[in-house]
Structures are given as structure tokens and as C-alpha cells.
Structure 1
């Protein structure tokens, strides 16, 4: 059984809220087939404790606006690994060092992921892609990577700014 529609929507809202506060490596793991207590984990990283706290605050605020409140919060005082339990969705906001050390993606690698693409990536105006950019397709993403970030084309000789050509 996969995550419920409500859990998927809550996870996507939480992931977008985290991304809007500049969280890195945002991922959603569907753990519904492995755990009876929740449907999905949202994983997000930040480079420092202040950023972790900002992400946590934004996730809570955004989900409250949609009538979803956490039943439990852990780790807020240290702000190194904060866990927000929304019952069907558990949000883990980790300092980058904890994220690398505990490697939750590795622990849950047998579980499917729920695709998440930041709809408001830095430099992107609200409501869409930046002018002159194409929307990435599935072919633009490295399938061997857990990171859904689109691949960037390597510049050809002469394509680099200031290049004069061969």
C-alpha cells in the first residue's frame, strides 16, 4: 500500500515550505509499506542551526494554514535534527553534518520516493520558470542519483561567456 493522497499532499506542502526557506537536499520517502505509524518522511538539510530553525518554523506555519498541526516536536532546542510528527507525515530537518552522518536515504533506500521539484527555485519568479529556461523533463535528471536536480549541459568550446572560440 502506498502513501495516502492526503499524506502525499501534506508531504509535498512540507517539502515546498522547506525549499522556500532554502533547505537543501529536500526529499520525500514513502515509508508506508515498511512502517505502520506513518506514510512518508520529508527530509531536508540546512548548513547551520539558525537555518534549521527557520525551515522548521516555515514548515509548521505552512501546514497550519492548511489545518495540519504537529502532534510532536523533537530536537528544537538543539536545532541539529528537528523532527516534526504530523502523524501521516514525519518531517526531518537536519543540520548538513547530521544528514551526512545518519544518511536516512540510505537506511530507507528500499522505499519508493515521492517526486518533489521545487516550484520556486532560486531565481525563478513566482508561478513559473525563469524567462529563457525550459522546464526540465525526466530525461534531464540522472536516474542513478537520489538527487532530482536536473543535469546541466556542459558548455561546448566557445559557449562560455567571454570565450572567443578555437
Structure 2
């Protein structure tokens, strides 16, 4: 499974937990940190945690290693390291404050197929 397919799996996991404004950025040309960023948000701390847990469960289901998860307890900005993919699961207030989409504005947005399989 390639990274683009994994990004889609992660987006599906986010959608399953009703994450809002799910976007993926191709970071290959703009950062050495990761190949892709996936960014989404939830409305409450509980939903943010459910989204992060959903990502972890989906990765486990496909035997994909989640290297690290940071910020789960506070549930304001959970960072999930899936190797070449970094997921940013925000609480809606933090998402607008940090505005990663603008910060990494040079990155190309990846087309996701939300609400569909595959």
C-alpha cells in the first residue's frame, strides 16, 4: 500500500468519526518532515479523541505502524505520526488559530474521496 492510499484510509477513518474539513497536503516539495499532512478537526475534545482513536484503529486493522501519538489527553491538537504521513487532528478553535493550511500554503492539496470506499 503506498502513502497516497494510506492517506485515503486515514481520511476515511476521520470521516467515520464525523471529522470536519478533512484535507491532505502533499508535502514532498515543501518539507522534509513528511510526505503528507492530513488535517481535520472535531467540535469537542471527546470527538477529537474519537477521531484520533479511529485513525489508530484503522492503521492497526491494516497493520500500519503508528509511531507516535501526542496530545491525546488534552485533545486540542493531536499529532499522529504514521511514518511519512503526519495527521493533525484539531479542536476547531485550535485549527483556526494555527491555520496549518496557510502556513504550508505552498503544498498542493491532495484529492480525497470522502464518504466513498477506496
TM-score by length of structure 2 reads 0.93
Secondary structure at the aligned position of 2:108 is classed as coil
Matches within 5 A, 1:65-144: 65-120=61-116
Q: CA RMSD of the aligned region, Å? A: 1.3
Answer 1 or 2: which has greater helix percent. 2
Counterpart in 2 of 1:157?
A: none
**Which residue is equivalent to 2:36?**
40
- The list of structure 1 runs, each at least 4 consecutive aligned residues, that deviate by more than 3 angstroms after superposition, is none
Aligned residues: 117
Runs of 5+ in structure 1 lacking a partner?
121-126, 128-166
Question: How far 1:38 sits from its partner (Å)?
Answer: 1.3
Give a deviation string over 1:118-163, Cα, whole Å, max 9, x none: 125xxxxxx7xxxxxxxxxxxxxxxxxxxxxxxxxxxxxxxxxxxx
CA-to-partner distance for each residue in 1:56-110, whole Å, 9 max, x for gaps?
0111101111111211111011011000001110010000000011001111111
* 2:57 pairs with one of 52, 58, 61: 61
SS at match of 2:30: coil
Aligned partners of 1:37 and 1:87 also within 8 Å: no
Greater Cα radius of gyration, structure 1 or 2: 1
Contact 2:8 2:113 in 1 (8 A): no
Alpha-carbon offset, residue 23 of structure 1: 0.1
- Under a length normalisation based on structure 1, what TM-score does the superposition of the two structures give? 0.67
More strand by share: 2
Q: Distance in 2 between matches of 1:87 and 1:35?
A: 14
Residue ranges of structure 2 left out of the alignment (5+ in a row): none
Greater relative contact order structure (CA < 8 Å, 6+ sep): 2
